């Protein structure tokens, strides 16, 4: 009754392993056969896996495995698959007008989401991740209701495609404000007066007398582009001066600086970098930021 | 003490039992182990028993060897087939009733219809994974209400503790699916092949057409049951009649076929082939249950103070003036045991307390004119008391007091604690279900940008709003803002014109998510960040809800 020389448990008549923990002894019961077979099966499985899949570590790299599987190839295949799906949608986007795209909610949703990621790639460097632009550098805020060159889908699409004041695209939106100070077209005093006139147009605090003096200069020099009441012109990209939104700031000094030696932003022609579908996506995304007209 | 050895059944058709008895009725220690009866005592039976023998009293003997007898250890051990004998009695009847009930519930539940109106499925119990809804009669659970299901699971866990601490492993013996299906499969065996002896004989007989036919029939029926088991499961996850049609035509989703295949395989393997091995080797519950039980929990117990020394030749022994116990060593308790153990060896892990041995033993006791209850449900406390009494005052004194444990003994503080916990969760869930809202509003304020300056000097904030209509019918909600002076809002695709409120129709059992733009003049507001409220109510209904959020403006100098 002691095949291995270990004590035999009286109750079960089974030999123990000879181990004892706090007086508790371990019976040396045999494994069930099915359990043993499962154990053998896992060994066979491991061997097969070793041969079929990359698993043997060598000095510099591992074995490739008979199946030639790799996670890199999986990712590649997945990317190809996704691109193929998107290619279909992009073809449809390119062929449809904005009205037709918006009539298809699923397609519009795709354009909106896809446009959001394109925006993060190409636009946030200037316009910011929140599309709020920068008053310091004169990058336009894209989510408000004030548009320099128009806020309809087609206007936005045109701006994205050709850019603004760049030299790469002959169709780029173009306008230039004269440097009234640097070219000595106006005196310093006249410029200060006109600046007060501009502030008066949007109801900002101003010197009444100066504004009155600058009114005539404004009508002669500025109204052609910015309008008699400073309402601006989207055809010329002339900012409205009668509202609360200021590209380069509304302080008197900032306005004087802008009249004396104006800064004018440049935007690249994205038509040379993005496909038609991508530009449509961007236009739809920007239009949906909340200020689209 | 037990030195019984058994020759291999497969090697020789004649089973020889060589039982050398050492000290048949030695002093038994009640301290050892969980149960005093653990000290197995084998009566001296020298004559080999070739088949069923008959006791002088007229009771048939069932020669058998329990799997829990000591043997020479090997590296591994094949399953020793167990052929549970048919048994009649109150516990067997109880098991039939519970089996019929649980199988009926399992198979029939998905087919019960329940009218929820035109917009919701009419299946009484449905786990709609695709639409993330769970329907239980009039209760519909949304994903964010899944804590109800978690509550049910906790109740099931505590319920198991409750039952185990009160009446021991009742779950294992009567309601566990493994037990129910194994029982069903054994019943099929008996219908097709016959009872225990017929099955043993068939397994030992050489290959023949009859053997093949019977075996194939049994396995075919098992497979049909297994397929039906897997089949019933999938109906909980889709409209049952539709899915059945699709399944038969080969149009059901691949998941359905895979699920049925997996459950067919497990049911057939676990219920048909592995049986007691699942309870002994695989199931974690026998390992945990000891923590739930104490000296006052009910267990199936062989009352060895009354049964020992056991003898197959009681009358001869008595004539010779030797003391004998009530146990005539007929092995009926071993023959009926679905896990193949000998309960006379005391409490042990494979015992699922199904009490079939009680039925078998009571039957034998009645036949030989002895009181029932040689094997009985009892508590360790009672067992110890009876043993002590038998030792001190003689067996008759113990026998007189041998009664079923009283409810006071079972209903102890531990059981009450479990019961109070269990019912508290249940009551809390019922209250929560009755009081819960079927309308929910959630508002997320845009963080980037927090606000947008507009050309007329006002400020715009953006919000993402979700209105959840959790009723299975379309409803229209009045959505408005409160507490923001001069504030106006609009929403693309719903309302273009700025307003203080607008109506939002939401489909049955749906979430409607939409963007809301709110604009206000900072001059009208006191502060840079103004709290205000979106509120919504069910037009024509009584439900309403509100969510507080903030309106941000540029910092003022």
Q: Does B250 touch chain A (CB under 8 A)?
A: no
pLDDT of residue B490: 93
Instruction: Please count the other Cβ atoms lying within 10 Å of the Cβ belonging to residue B310.
Output: 23
Interface contact A32, partner B, CB < 8 A: yes
H or E segment at A83? helix A71-95
Contact B449 A132 (CB under 8 A): yes
- How far, in Å, CA of B203 to CA of B11, rounded? 13
pLDDT bin (cut points 50, 70, 90) of residue B70 is low
Chain B residues closer than 8 Å to A9 by CB: 70
Mean pLDDT of B162-182: 91
Q: How many Å apart are CA A198 and CA A175, to the nearest integer?
A: 20
**CA dist., res. B150 & res. B158, Å (int):** 12
* Closest approach of A288 to chain B, Cα-based (Å): 9
pLDDT tens column, A220-230: 999 999 999 99
Q: How many inter-chain contacts (A to B, CB under 8 Å) are there?
A: 92
Whether B23 shows a pLDDT value over 70: the answer reads no
pLDDT tens digits, one per residue of A130-165 = 999 998 899 999 999 999 999 999 999 999 999 999
How far is A75 from chain B, CA to nearest CA, in Å?
Answer: 25
Mean pLDDT in residue range B537-542? 86
More confident residue, A268 or B349: A268
Task: Give the nearest partner residue to B454 out of A33, A131, A144, using CB atoms.
Answer: A144
CA torsion sign for B12, B14, B18, B19 is positive
pLDDT class of B7 with cuts at 50, 70, 90: very low
Higher pLDDT, A39 or B27: A39
DSSP letter string, A190-213: HHHHHHHHHHHHTT----HHHHHH
CA–CA separation, A207 vs A194, rounded Å?
Answer: 11
* Closest CA in chain A for residue B67: A12
* Mean pLDDT score, A235-247: 93
Question: Residue B27: its pLDDT value, please?
Answer: 36
Say which of A34, A146, A243 has its CB closest to residue B274: A34
Beta strands in B338-469 (DSSP E): 375-379, 439-445, 452-453, 459-469
Contact call for residues B450 and B444 (beta carbons, < 8 A): no
CB-CB: which of A13, A14, A245 is closest to B455? A245
- Hey, is the C-beta of B72 within 8 angstroms of any chain A C-beta? yes
Cβ neighbours around A247 below 10 Å, total: 21
Please answer yes or no on whether B74 and A36 come within 8 Å at the CB atom.
no
Q: Is the pLDDT of residue A259 over 80?
A: yes
Mean pLDDT throughout B475-479? 94
The pLDDT value given to residue B238: 92
CB contact under 8 A, A143 and B77: no
| B33 contacts chain A (CB < 8 A) | yes
User: Of residues B362 and B26, which shows the higher confidence score?
Assistant: B362
In order of B151, B153, B158, B410, the CA distances from B421 in angstroms are 12, 13, 8, 17
Per-residue pLDDT tens digits for A51-79: 999 988 889 888 888 998 999 999 999 99
Q: Cβ–Cβ of B73/A10 closer than 8 Å?
A: no
Residue B128 has pLDDT above 80, yes or no: yes
Distance of residue B353 Cα from the nearest chain A Cα, in angstroms: 19
Instruction: For chain B, give the number of residues.
Output: 557
CB contact under 8 A, A32 and B2: no
Distance CA B493, CA B512 (A): 12
**Residues paired with A46 in a beta bridge:** none
Contact B79 A34 (CB under 8 A): yes
Q: What is the rounded distance in angstroms from the CA atom of residue B340 to the CA atom of residue B338?
A: 5
- Give B 267-306 residues with CB within 8 A of chain A: 274, 277, 281
Above pLDDT 90, what percent of chain A? Answer: 77
Q: Rounded distance, CA B36 to CA B375, Å?
A: 14
CB atoms within 10 A of CB A42: 10
Taking each continuous run of H as one helix and of E as one strand, the counts in chain A are 11, 3
Give me the mean pLDDT over the A189-209 stretch.
Answer: 94
* Chain A residue whose CA is closest to B460: A144
pLDDT at residue B279 above 70?
yes
3 state SS of B416: helix
Say whether A8 and B1 touch across the interface (CB within 8 A): no
Nearest CA in chain A to B458: A244
Instruction: Determine contact: A20 vs chain B, CB below 8 A.
Output: no
Best probe of the B interface among A1, A7, A12, by most B CBs < 10 A, is: A12
The pair phi, psi for residue B37, each rounded to 5°, is -70, 0
Its sign, for the CA torsion B338, B341, B342, B346, is negative
Predicted pLDDT at A17 = 85
- Nearest chain B residue to A3 by CA: give it: B72
User: Confidence class of residue B437 from pLDDT cuts 50, 70 and 90?
Assistant: confident
A8 in contact with B at a CB cutoff of 8 Å?
A: yes
pLDDT of residue A293: 82
Q: How many residues does chain A have?
A: 293
Q: Which chain A residue has the Cα nearest residue B38?
A: A11
A1, A2, A17, A32: which to substitute to probe chain B, counting the most B Cβ within 10 Å? A32
**Which of A30, A113, A139, A292 to mutate to test binding with chain B, by most B CBs within 10 Å of its CB?**
A30
* Pairwise CA distance, residues B56 & B501, whole Å: 96
Test mutation, B454, B494, B557, chain A, max A CBs within 10 A: B454
Contacts of A39 by beta carbon, 8 Å cutoff, 6+ apart = none
Q: Pick A1 or B154 by higher pLDDT.
A: B154
Q: Which residue of A has its CA nearest to B280?
A: A32
Tokens of residue A20, six digits: 């004892």
Structure tokens, B382: 């009672």
Q: Is the pLDDT of residue B392 over 90?
A: no
Q: What percent of chain B has pLDDT over 70?
A: 85
* Count of alpha carbons within 13 angstroms of residue A238, beta-carbon side: 20
Report which of B66, B73, B72 is spatially closest to residue B345, judged by C-alpha positions.
Answer: B66
Per CB-CB distance under 8 Å, the chain B contacts of A3 are 72-73
In the predicted structure, residue B47 carries a pLDDT above the cut 80:
no
Range in A8-17, B171-180, B247-256, B503-512 the model is least confident about: A8-17
**A104 close to B (CB below 8 A):** no
Answer whether B452 sits within 8 Å of A290, measured CB to CB. Answer: yes
Q: Which residues of chain B have a CB within 8 Å of the CB of A145?
A: 454-455
- Please indicate whether residue B395 or residue B375 has the higher confidence score (pLDDT): B375
Say which of A11, A129, A245 has its CB closest to residue B33: A11
B497 touches chain A (CB under 8 A): no
Q: What does pLDDT average to over chain B?
A: 84
Highest mean pLDDT among B27-41, B201-215, B394-408: B201-215
* Closest-CA residue to B460 (of B507, B508, B505, B520): B520
A1-5, A47-51, B298-302: segment of lowest average pLDDT: A1-5
Specify the pLDDT at position B547: 94
Give the whole-number percent of chain B exceeding pLDDT 90. 52
The answer, for B246 touching chain A at a CB cutoff of 8 Å, is no
Q: What is the DSSP string of B84-127?
A: PPP--SHHHHHHHHHHHHHHHHHHHGGG-B----TTS--BSEEE
Q: Which whole number is the average pLDDT over B295-307? A: 88
Instruction: Pick B459 or B27 by higher pLDDT.
Output: B459
Residue among B555, B387, B320 nearest B459 (CA): B555
- On whether the CB atoms of residues B474 and B464 are closer than 8 A, the answer is no
Q: Is the dihedral of CA B327, B330, B334, B337 positive or negative?
A: negative
B556 in reach of chain A (CB within 8 A): no
B455 and A32 in contact by Cβ < 8 A? no
Contact criterion met (CB below 8 Å) for B461 and B517: yes
CA distances from A34 to A30, B2, B78 (A): 12, 28, 7
Give the gap in angstroms from C-alpha B491 to the nearest C-alpha of chain A: 10
Higher pLDDT, B549 or B298: B549
Task: Please tell me the distance from the alpha carbon of residue A164 to that of residue A173, in angstroms, as a whole number.
Answer: 5
Task: Note the Cα B5 to chain centre separation in Å.
Answer: 37
Two tokens, residue A155:
């206007």
Confidence of residue B307 (pLDDT cuts 50, 70, 90): confident
Residue A127 pLDDT > 60: yes
């Amino acid at each position: 009754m002691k095949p291995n020389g270990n004590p035999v448990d009286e109750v079960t008549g089974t030999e123990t392993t000879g181990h004892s923990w706090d007086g508790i002894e371990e019976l040396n019961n045999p494994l069930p056969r099915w359990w043993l077979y499962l154990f053998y099966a896992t060994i066979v499985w491991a061997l097969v896996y070793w041969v079929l899949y990359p698993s043997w570590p060598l000095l510099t790299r591992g074995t490739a495995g008979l199946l030639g599987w790799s996670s890199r190839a999986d990712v590649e295949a997945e990317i190809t698959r996704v691109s193929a799906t998107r290619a279909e949608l992009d073809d449809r986007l390119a062929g449809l007008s904005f009205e037709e795209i918006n009539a298809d909610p699923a397609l519009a949703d795709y354009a909106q989401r896809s446009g959001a990621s394109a925006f993060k790639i190409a636009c946030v460097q200037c316009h910011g991740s929140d599309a709020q632009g920068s008053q310091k550098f004169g990058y336009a805020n894209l989510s408000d209701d004030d548009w320099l060159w128009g806020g309809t889908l087609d206007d936005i699409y045109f701006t994205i495609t050709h850019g603004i004041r760049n030299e790469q695209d002959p169709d780029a939106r173009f306008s230039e404000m004269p440097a009234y100070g640097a070219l000595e077209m106006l005196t310093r005093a006249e410029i200060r007066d006109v600046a007060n006139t501009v502030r008066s147009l949007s109801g900002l605090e101003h010197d009444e007398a100066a504004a009155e003096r600058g009114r005539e200069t404004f009508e002669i020099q500025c109204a052609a582009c910015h309008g008699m009441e400073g309402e601006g012109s989207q055809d010329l990209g002339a900012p409205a001066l009668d509202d609360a939104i200021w590209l380069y700031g509304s302080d008197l000094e900032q306005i004087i600086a802008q009249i004396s030696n104006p800064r004018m932003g440049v935007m690249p022609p994205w038509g040379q970098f993005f496909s038609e579908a991508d530009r449509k996506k961007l236009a739809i995304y920007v239009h949906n930021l909340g200020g689209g007209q | 003490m037990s030195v019984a050895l058994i020759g291999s059944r497969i090697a020789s058709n004649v089973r020889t039992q060589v039982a050398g008895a050492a000290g048949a009725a030695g002093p038994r220690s009640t301290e050892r182990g969980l149960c005093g009866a653990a000290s197995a005592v084998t009566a001296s039976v020298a004559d080999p028993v070739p088949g069923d023998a008959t006791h002088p009293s007229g009771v048939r003997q069932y020669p058998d060897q329990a799997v829990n007898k000591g043997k020479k250890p090997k590296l591994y051990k094949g399953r020793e087939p167990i052929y549970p004998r048919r048994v009649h009695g109150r516990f067997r009847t109880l098991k039939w009733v519970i089996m019929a009930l649980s199988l009926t519930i399992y198979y029939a539940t998905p087919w019960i219809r329940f009218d929820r109106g035109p917009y919701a499925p009419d299946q009484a119990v449905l786990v709609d994974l695709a639409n993330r809804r769970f329907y239980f009669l009039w209760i519909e659970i949304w994903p964010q209400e899944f804590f109800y299901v978690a509550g049910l699971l906790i109740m099931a866990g505590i319920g198991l503790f409750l039952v185990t601490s009160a009446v021991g492993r009742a779950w294992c013996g009567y309601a566990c699916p493994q037990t129910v299906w194994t029982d069903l499969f054994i019943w099929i065996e008996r219908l097709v092949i016959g009872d225990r002896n017929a099955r043993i004989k068939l397994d030992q007989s050489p290959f023949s057409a009859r053997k093949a036919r019977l075996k194939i029939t049994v396995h075919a029926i098992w497979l049909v049951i297994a397929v039906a088991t897997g089949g019933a499961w999938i109906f909980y996850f889709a409209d049952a009649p539709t899915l059945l049609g699709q399944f038969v035509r080969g149009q059901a989703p691949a998941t359905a076929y895979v699920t049925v295949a997996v459950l067919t395989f497990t049911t057939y393997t676990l219920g048909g082939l592995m049986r007691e091995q699942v309870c002994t080797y695989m199931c974690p519950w026998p390992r945990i249950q000891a923590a739930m039980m104490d000296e006052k929990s009910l267990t199936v117990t062989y009352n060895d103070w009354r049964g020992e020394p056991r003898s197959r030749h009681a009358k001869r022994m008595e004539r010779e003036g030797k003391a004998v116990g009530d146990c005539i060593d007929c092995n009926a308790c071993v023959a009926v045991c679905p896990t193949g153990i000998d309960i006379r060896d005391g409490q042990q892990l494979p015992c699922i307390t199904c009490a079939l041995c009680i039925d078998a033993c009571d039957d034998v006791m009645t036949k030989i004119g002895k009181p029932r209850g040689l094997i009985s449900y009892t508590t360790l406390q009672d067992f110890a008391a009876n043993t002590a009494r038998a030792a001190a005052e003689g067996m008759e004194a113990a026998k007189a007091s041998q009664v079923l444990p009283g409810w006071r003994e079972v209903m102890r503080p531990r059981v009450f604690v479990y019961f109070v916990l269990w019912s508290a969760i249940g009551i809390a869930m019922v209250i929560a279900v009755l009081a819960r809202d079927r309308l929910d509003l959630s508002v997320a304020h845009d963080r980037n940008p927090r606000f947008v300056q507009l050309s007329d000097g006002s400020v715009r904030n953006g919000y993402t709003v979700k209105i959840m209509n959790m009723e299975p019918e379309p409803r229209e909600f009045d959505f408005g803002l409160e507490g923001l002076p001069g504030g106006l809002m609009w929403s693309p695709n719903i309302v273009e014109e700025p307003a203080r409120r607008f109506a939002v129709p939401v489909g049955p059992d749906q979430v409607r998510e939409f963007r809301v733009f709110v604009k206000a003049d900072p001059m009208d507001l006191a502060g840079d960040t103004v709290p205000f409220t979106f509120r919504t109510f069910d037009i024509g209904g009584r439900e309403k809800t509100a969510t507080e959020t903030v309106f941000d403006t540029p910092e003022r100098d």
